[in-house]
Structure 1
Amino acid sequence: MVNSDIIAAIATPPGRGGIGVVRVSGGSLGSLALKITGSLPPPRQATLSKFLDEAGLVIDQGIVLYFPAPYSYTGEDVLELQGHGGPAVMNLLLSSCLSAGARLAQPGEFTLRAFLNNKLDLAQAESVADIIDASTSEAARCAMRSLQGDFSNAVRNLVEALTTLRMLVEASLDFPEEEIESAGQGDLQGRLEEIRAQVEHVLTSAMQGSLLREGVRVVLVGQPNVGKSSLLNRLTREETAIVTEIPGTTRDAIRETIEIEGVPVHVVDTAGLRDTQDAVEKIGMARTREAISKANLILLIMDSRRGITAEDRGILGELPSNLPIICVYNKIDLEPAPPHTEVPEVGSAVYVSAKTGLGVEELRKKLLGTAGWQPHASGEGIFMARQRHLYALTDAGAYLKNAASLAGQEVQLDLLAEELRLAQKSLSSITGEFSADDLLGEIFSRFCIGK
């Protein structure tokens, strides 16, 4: 048991509802339960009870559930009080718990205790927040697989393979005169290549999960009156943006989130880029450039009747060189045979009509493909991942690459052993075996209170 103090929080969202839940966790809840409900309820049985305040007056009536340690979410005694979901009632019930000896829980503290008490590893704990924050059903399913341990098991298999290899290498260093299982050059190279391939496979799956979690930030840019707002409306299937024939109608960035094959896509329609003396329009263009700086993907919208113009090339020259760009030639409904003007430096073009919808489905598919999404059967094999997971897997891959370059040099076995150790440490940080306290504080501070 890591903590002995008692924590309490409202575990249901703010506002009014049919049911509200106050969750309590601590080393021993017998005394608190007696004060709140008048008795200690039987373990793991839903019991109808009155809820009392510090003066013994009835606050509410509802269901109480008691989970004694260690068979609970946190690994401690846990009490869940399910009452009527009005804000006033919930606050009275929480106040009664605080008066009975509990303190207000910090964000994510229940899940933090579950991690510290070995009920969840760190990757599983993070997936709890990912389930809550999931913006699509596919993201929720992927997060649930991570909570059930799919991602953690894949990482542990890698760590186990590395541990075995480290044992052989370090045994060869410590006991060079002994007959030890072969750790020769060919054997080392073969084992290393196999582990590197497995790390690459897990990284690829994790990158797909990161797309599901974070989504794709797409910014529509182009000259005024090329149909950016019309395309946004077509993508969202709603009249989100005002559309007129007057250039410069859009003065500010308009943000909408859509779902494509289960992936959240955050689309930003921006003010047209051009030379202007209009002060408001200048502010809009400044916000356009700010949105571009945060984008994962750019859609450069152009009028298909004109093809790519000098002004479009000027906009293209302003875009960051490291951002993927799709050239979208709009208004093909107005030109029977639009000029197919490709842009060699972009290499990806789609012809659409935002007015009729022609070509928009092709754009949706190309958008996901350019962002790196690979279709999966119901997301099988995808791990919900965060940036720190991707960094850890990438670092592990780099250490293994260094190790492979040393494996053919027997005199470098000590350096090889160190690269393997660093690779194992990077992988173990994903599940929390090697995690600094400040990292834990950063992770769990982003959880909601009561979870």
Structure 2
Amino acid sequence: MRSHDPIIAIATAPGRGGIGIVRISGNSLQPLLARLFSMELKARHAHYLPFEDNEGKVIDAGIALYFPGPNSYTGEDVLELQGHGGPAVLRRLLAHCLQTGRDLGLRHAEPGEFTQRAFLNERLDLAQAEAVADLIDASSEAAARSAMASLSGDFSNRINALAERIIRLRMLVEATLDFPEEEIDFLEKYQAREGLAAIRHDVQALCAQARQGMILRDGLHVVLAGQPNVGKSSLLNALAGDDIAIVTPIAGTTRDKVIQQIHIEGVPLHIVDTAGLRETEDAVESIGIARTWGEIEKADLIAHLHDARLPNDALDSAITGRLPARTPILQVFNKIDLLEDAARAQLLSSAAESIGISAKTGEGLDVLRARLLAIAGWNPGAESPWLARARHLDALTNTESHLQAADEHASRNDQVLDLFAEELRLAHEQLSAITGQFTSDDLLGEIFSSFCIGK
């Protein structure tokens, strides 16, 4: 991205709407403002006026807002033209602005370029910039609240506070490196290991919250797997509260995956109904079964459905043997409504690591929902106050690893301060990467390219 060019984009979502916004940002928009309007725009005042083309014909009438930098979203001069939300109107207004400012370097904004400029101009740190996209994409109230907390700086403040504590410890270490005979005394005198242990404890707590935040942001990919006619489609419909998948008594009705997003306690779950697993010579069904195994390999969690009337079925045992060991698996016995009371009681009492349900009557579904979240690591009583991404969790995990290595060097007392200091430096870099103080250009490009155009 060429960060010196003025940029423009439609900032509202595609389609018809009551209001549409065209946003412009640049280091100095005064020359462009003079061409677009016959009057001078007062900073941070709403001006209702006609938007005219170069021939004086009115394109639309709306509100112009001018925010001089650095007190704007991007830290540059920002102009917002708020008119009617018709696609044709917005395209005409966009084209007129581009034509008017072409010789000034005005160009279309790339995805996420407005927010990237806010980051580069230190209006937001990287974690806050990512929270902008997360707030837009939030699929539940809980996710929206947590994204807003991240955008407000709650997560960044926690990271920065930990970084400051590591810096203070590094300063003590660096100041002592010139006096090697005092290394052991330093660790004891300044209680360096105790301070390190306290930092490690808080990093571990932050990791736990980050895992919660990542689940809340990304959701869980839950695959319903099992042989044909065990009730996978019925369970999907019951969880979704709607007739999403076709249900018939005929085995093999589902030939391809059906995906439905649901929310449990604000956590998004992507439930995938799949083709029944069995040996078949049907070419179409074979393709569906192959796709089922592909979905199983990608799953965050597998719900292996069984017919409760056949708890020791040989095909079920074969399927269990092929399921990936690295993925959490919940054994679910469906159709318990068809069991006699004694058989039902025996099944439920003997299946400590499984659960009995009836997708038809709804019995056991609340327990199933709670178990799905628990197996995935979600703790309802410890909801993350902010969203987190996989890279945040990776950085925190790496931080803990470096702090652990520092503690091990300190306990051995061999050339301790050099190695101790190096591990602290690496831990500090990992934390700083979260907020963007140490971040590669490639990572920035990957992060901001996922934003929508106009943001």
Matched to 1:254, the amino acid is: V
CA deviation vs aligned residue, 1:111-135 (integer Å, no higher than 9, x gap): 0000000000000000000001111
Shift of 1:438: 1.1
- Residue 419 of structure 1 pairs with residue 419 of structure 2: no
Match of 1:206 in 2: 210
Q: 1:330 touches 1:352 (CA, 8 Å); kept in 2?
A: yes
CA deviation vs aligned residue, 1:154-184 (integer Å, no higher than 9, x gap): 0001100100111111111124578999432
Match of 1:6 in 2: 6
- Residue 66 of structure 1 pairs with residue 60 of structure 2: no
Q: d(CA) in 2 for partners of 1:271 and 1:285?
A: 6
- DSSP-derived class of the 2:278 partner: coil
CA deviation vs aligned residue, 1:227-286 (integer Å, no higher than 9, x gap): 111111100010111111111111110100000000000000001101111111101101
Mapping for residues 34-433 of structure 1, pairs under 5 Å: 34-101=34-101, 102-176=106-180, 182-184=186-188, 187-335=191-339, 336-338=341-343, 340=346, 348-376=353-381, 379=383, 381-408=384-411, 409=413, 411-433=415-437
Give aligned-pair identity as a percent. Answer: 56
Match of 2:32 in 1: 32
Q: d(CA) in 2 for partners of 1:45 and 1:247?
A: 66
Q: d(CA) in 1 for partners of 2:314 and 2:242?
A: 32
Superposition RMSD on alpha carbons, in Å? Answer: 2.0
Q: 1:127 touches 1:143 (CA, 8 Å); kept in 2?
A: yes
Shift of 1:337: 3.1
Q: 2:8 touches 2:107 (CA, 8 Å); kept in 1?
A: yes
TM-score, normalised via structure 2 length? 0.94
Q: 1:252 touches 1:287 (CA, 8 Å); kept in 2?
A: yes
Q: d(CA) in 2 for partners of 1:177 and 1:406?
A: 17
Matched to 1:218, the amino acid is: V
Q: 2:148 touches 2:386 (CA, 8 Å); kept in 1?
A: no
Q: 1:303 touches 1:330 (CA, 8 Å); kept in 2?
A: yes
- DSSP-derived class of the 1:85 partner: coil
Q: d(CA) in 2 for partners of 1:32 and 1:254?
A: 51
Shift of 1:348: 2.3
CA deviation vs aligned residue, 1:283-306 (integer Å, no higher than 9, x gap): 110110111111100001001111
Shift of 1:313: 1.1
| Closer, same or farther: CA 424–231 of 1 in aligned 2, 3 Å | same
| Closer, same or farther: CA 180–287 of 1 in aligned 2, 3 Å | closer
- DSSP-derived class of the 1:174 partner: coil
Q: 2:183 touches 2:417 (CA, 8 Å); kept in 1?
A: no
Q: d(CA) in 1 for partners of 2:137 and 2:376?
A: 21
- DSSP-derived class of the 2:386 partner: coil
Q: d(CA) in 2 for partners of 1:146 and 1:273?
A: 43
Worse-superposed segment, 207-216 or 170-179? 170-179
TM-score, normalised via structure 1 length? 0.95
Shift of 1:100: 2.0
CA deviation vs aligned residue, 1:82-114 (integer Å, no higher than 9, x gap): 011111110011111111222100000000000
Q: d(CA) in 2 for partners of 1:338 and 1:314?
A: 24
Count of aligned residue pairs for this structure pair: 447
Shift of 1:338: 3.2
CA deviation vs aligned residue, 1:41-63 (integer Å, no higher than 9, x gap): 11111110111223332211100
Shift of 1:343: 12
Q: d(CA) in 1 for partners of 2:361 and 2:393?
A: 40
Shift of 1:136: 1.1
| Closer, same or farther: CA 170–224 of 1 in aligned 2, 3 Å | same
Q: 1:255 touches 1:269 (CA, 8 Å); kept in 2?
A: yes
| Closer, same or farther: CA 180–307 of 1 in aligned 2, 3 Å | closer
- DSSP-derived class of the 1:394 partner: helix
Matched to 2:390, the amino acid is: Q
Q: d(CA) in 2 for partners of 1:121 and 1:181?
A: 39
Q: d(CA) in 2 for partners of 1:64 and 1:164?
A: 48
Shift of 1:5: 2.0
Match of 1:17 in 2: 17
Unaligned runs of 5+ in 1: none
Matched to 1:393, the amino acid is: L
Q: 1:172 touches 1:183 (CA, 8 Å); kept in 2?
A: no
- Residue 434 of structure 1 pairs with residue 438 of structure 2: yes
- DSSP-derived class of the 2:260 partner: strand
Q: 1:304 touches 1:338 (CA, 8 Å); kept in 2?
A: no
Unaligned runs of 5+ in 2: none
Q: d(CA) in 1 for partners of 2:88 and 2:212?
A: 43
| Closer, same or farther: CA 290–343 of 1 in aligned 2, 3 Å | farther
Shift of 1:347: 6.2
CA deviation vs aligned residue, 1:360-392 (integer Å, no higher than 9, x gap): 000000000101101137x4x432111111110
| Closer, same or farther: CA 164–220 of 1 in aligned 2, 3 Å | same
